[in-house]
Each structure stands twice: as structure tokens, then as C-alpha cells.
Amino acid sequence: MIKYNLVLYILSPFIISKILFSTFIRKAGINYFFHRIGLTIFKTKKTSIWLHASSIGETKIALKVYESLMKENQDYEFLITTTTPSASKVVDGSLERLNHCYLPFDFFFTMKRFIKSINPKICIIMETEIWPNLLRRCKENDIPTLILNARLSKKTLSSNDFIKNIYKKSLDDLTHIYCKSEREKDNFISLGARENKTTVIGNLKLSEPIKQHTEENIINRKYVLAASTHSDEERQIISEWLKVNDKRILLVVVPRHPERLGDILSNLPLSMINIAIRSKGDKIRNSTQVYIADTHGELNHLMAHCEFVIMGGSLVDHGGQNFLEAASYGKSIIVGPFMYNFIDETEEFLKNNSMIMVKNSKSLKHVFERLLKSKQRRELFGNNAKKLLQSKINIVCKYRDVVKNYL
């Protein structure tokens, strides 16, 4: 711990600079800055159940756990901490007995003050966040700390020995690790977790409620959706889409980061494509081939009414994006070969004929044409995806029961 805190002290100017960058350049807001460096310390009114979720995906499953626990634990209030502004937007401030703040960075004295001020009954970490000072402070204050839906990233597993030793010591401070799969349990044990402190329950992300098509249809044509795309994926997908000989169908592209619009357009032969852009208020005409929906908060509307979905982050070496929202709408899902952030989910969907994986973008034209020609084929993959999610709906109850044992 001494070495870890010394490194943090040395790196603190860079850490604070990064927080400042997010505050002002990415417009996270001044509260984000004060929370993250520990100048504003959140205080709970009574004993709290603390859930920590780093980004959007973890926050969504943290809310599932909150909803399940809240109904049976009337004596507690709940606190969700996040580390990104985008994740904070997922938390509905009107939810019963639920508070939100940003997690202070893991500096020794900052974390000590924070945990003392919120006085949690339990600390529940979603998926993969391992902060040594946080875990040590909880252990010293007899606060049970659990990781739910536990997984380890490729980056963590390939860390150098110095980082792995820090992780190993921190894993000893955890009360228990509840993993989403046997693969992840093996990963935690290889990192240094004790076998008697690791248990497999199942993938909480698969406990996704089936969605109804109640969202407004904001597109006035039949369309295919490329969701949460990353750098260069737009070019790859659009290039193959233009080879499809069906002018009636529109391609809608939703970039993962809408602020990348300039980079996306600079990578396309604009003189050869009829493009409309949502942020500029462009109308979708019969001649429009590609519509770039570079806005926030509309992905659900677009998923609900599309013919099928191509998930981004999978045609480039990013690791994939969460495709379960598309599955909950009963959509056929296409992914590329880079799905290592969702290995277990991808394997299960492929095994159950609930997803299509292409080796590279050159295979997309063939898949596009086969799905567009056959509504039966689209429904087959979409219905299989729905059935798979329905079979996993009770996983959240299993996690809820585990947490109740510590309360």
C-alpha cells in the first residue's frame, strides 16, 4: 500500500489534470471536479447501501440491483457512485431513496474521509473496479465489500507484475467476489483471489427485461441501425452498405461519441453519398442513403424500430459494445470479431443461434442482403435472442439474495 500511495502522490498532477480536462473540455461540470478530488464530500442521512459503478454499463446493472433490494429494505437509503459523467446521466434522481455522487479518486486521505462521511452498511462494486484504498478503508471499518457480476478486463490481466501485486493484496481486502462465469472466476484466482472467496452466480447483464415497442419512431423510413460505432467503423459499414442494391432501406449510424462527427465525415467520400445529419436538422428524403444520428439519448428509440442492428466496437480492436439492449427488443444482431469485452455473452448468443458474427467488414454486404431478403430469418435471430434473455431473468434475484445475507 505504501508503494501504491507513493505512486499516486507522484502521479497526482497528471490525475488532477485529467479530471480538469473532463470537467472543462468534456463539460462534466464543476460538481464533477469537486467530487472527484474530494473537496465536496457527500453525506448520507441514514445508513446506506453503497453501490459503485464506473461507467454506463455497470450503472445500468447497479440500478437493477438497487430496484431489487429497495423493495425489501425499507430501512436503508441507497447511494450510487460513478466515475464518468455519462454514467451519472443514467441515474434517475427521482428514484426512491436513491442518491448519486461521483466517487473521489483513490487518494488515501480523500477515500478515508469519504467512507467515514457516507457510513455505508455494505459496499457493492459492479463488475471490475478494484481501488486499493477504498477496499482497505472498508475492511478497517468492518464494511463488507462485494464485487457483483465480477469480471476482469484484458488490460488488467495483462498488467505488469507491480500492478498485479497491488491487485493481489487488494483482493484479500474484499469480502467476496461473485463472478458472472467460470472463466471470470478462473481469471480472479489467477490474479490472486482465494478460491473460497469466489463464487459463480451468472451474468447479471443477461437479466434484461424484454422491451415493448413503445418508443416513438423518429425515422420516417425503413432502416438498419449501426449502433455505438467507433473510429473507422463508420467508413467500413457505410462502404459495404452502399454495395447493397436496395435503395428503399436507410442506414442509420449512431456513433458512440457524437462529438466525433467531424472525424466521421472526413473519412467518407461525401460527394458520392447522400448523407443527412440529425444534429444539423437535416431532413430524411427518399434519396438519403445514410443518416448520422449524432445525438445523445435516442438509441433506444432507434433500436425499437430498426430492421436489424450492427453493433459497434466489434469491427475494430475495441472489444465490442453491449448488445443486450438490442436483444431485449428482439432484433437480429450482427457483430464483428472483436468482442473480447463480452466473451461469455457472445459465446452464449452464438451457441443459441441468437447472433451473427462476421470475420471482417467485407462479409457485411452478404449478411445485409440475406437479412433484408428474409423477414423470417430476421425474426428467427431476434426471437432466439429474446428467449435467451427470458431464460436468465431471475439472475438479479440470486444476486439480491446474496447481498441480503450481509445485511
pLDDT at 94 over 80: no
Residue 194 domain-assigned (yes or no) = yes
Residue 370 domain-assigned (yes or no) = yes
* DSSP conformation letters of 206-267: G--PPPPS-S----SS-EEEEEEE-TTHHHHHHHHHTTS--TTSEEEEEESSGGGHHHHHHT
Of the candidates 98, 93, 90, the residue with the CA atom closest to the CA atom of residue 67: 98
Are residues 368 and 298 both part of a single domain?
Answer: yes
CATH number at residue 319: 3.40.50.2000
Q: Express each pLDDT in 29-58 by its tens digit.
A: 899 999 999 888 788 777 899 999 988 889
C-beta separation of 406 from 142 below 8 A: no
Q: Express each pLDDT in 109-124 by its tens digit.
A: 999 999 999 989 999 9
Q: Express each pLDDT in 220-244 by its tens digit.
A: 899 999 999 999 999 999 999 999 9
Residue environment code for 197-219, b if the CB has 16+ CB neighbours within 10 A, otherwise e: ebebbbbbbbbbeebeeeeeeeb
Q: Please report, for the chain, how many H helices and E strands are present, in that order.
A: 17, 14
Are residues 232 and 192 both part of a single domain?
Answer: no
What's the Cα-to-Cα distance from 129 to each of 18, 177, 222, 262, rounded to whole Å?
19, 12, 41, 33
Alpha-carbon gap, residue 27 to 68, rounded angstroms: 33
Domain of residue 304 covers 223-390
Q: Tell me what the mean pLDDT of segment 157-163 comes to.
A: 88
Residue 192 domain-assigned (yes or no) = yes
> What's the confidence (pLDDT) of residue 182?
94
Are residues 105 and 199 both part of a single domain?
Answer: yes
Residue 78 domain-assigned (yes or no) = yes
Are residues 234 and 383 both part of a single domain?
Answer: yes
Q: Express each pLDDT in 55-89 by its tens digit.
A: 888 998 999 999 999 988 888 899 999 998 888 88
Please list the residues that pair with 52 across neighbouring strands.
Answer: 81, 125
Alpha-carbon gap, residue 294 to 260, rounded angstroms: 8
> What's the confidence (pLDDT) of residue 397?
93
Q: Which three cell numbers stand for residue 9?
A: 502522490
pLDDT at 281 over 80: yes
pLDDT at 12 over 80: yes
Q: Express each pLDDT in 130-156 by its tens digit.
A: 999 999 999 999 999 999 999 998 888
Which has more pLDDT, 21 or 311? 311
Q: Express each pLDDT in 283-313 by its tens digit.
A: 999 999 999 999 888 998 999 999 999 999 9
Q: Express each pLDDT in 323-373 by its tens digit.
A: 999 999 999 999 999 999 899 899 999 999 999 999 999 999 999 999 999
Are residues 232 and 364 both part of a single domain?
Answer: yes
